[in-house]
Amino acid sequence: MPRQATFVARLFREGREPESVRVPRASPAPPTVLRRPAGGNDQLIFDVYALIDADGWPADAAFTFVETVSRLPADPDV
């Protein structure tokens, strides 16, 4: 049986319907934190999710929303 290169991340956030997204699997263990792009004009904004359940690993894992973080893009002249 071929090894899966991705897994399904179930994302939970208060006030929203749960969301399932396919995520690249970078290691044999589930990630403890996921960062998902959240948009933004001139800023890079990410929603951060923490692992809450890996019973379905390596096929899937569940994460809960922690915070939204942002940073300015790197200055190309530096």
Lowest average pLDDT, out of 3-7, 46-50, 67-71, goes to 3-7
> 56: how many CB neighbours lie within 10 A of its CB?
13
Q: What is the C-alpha separation between 22 and 33, in angstroms, rounded?
A: 15
Sheet holding 44-53, edge to edge: 19-24, 6-12, 60-71, 44-53, 33-39
Instruction: Give the pLDDT confidence of 12-54 residue by residue, as tens digits.
Output: 999 999 999 999 998 999 999 999 988 766 668 899 999 999 9
> What pLDDT is stored for residue 44 in this prediction?
85
Q: Supply 35's token pair.
A: 């960062």
Is the per-residue pLDDT at 70 higher than 90? no
Q: Supply 48's token pair.
A: 């951060």
Q: Supply 37's token pair.
A: 């792009």
Whose tokens are 């940073």? That residue is: 71
Is the per-residue pLDDT at 78 higher than 90? no
Question: What are the extents of the domains in the chain?
Answer: 6-71
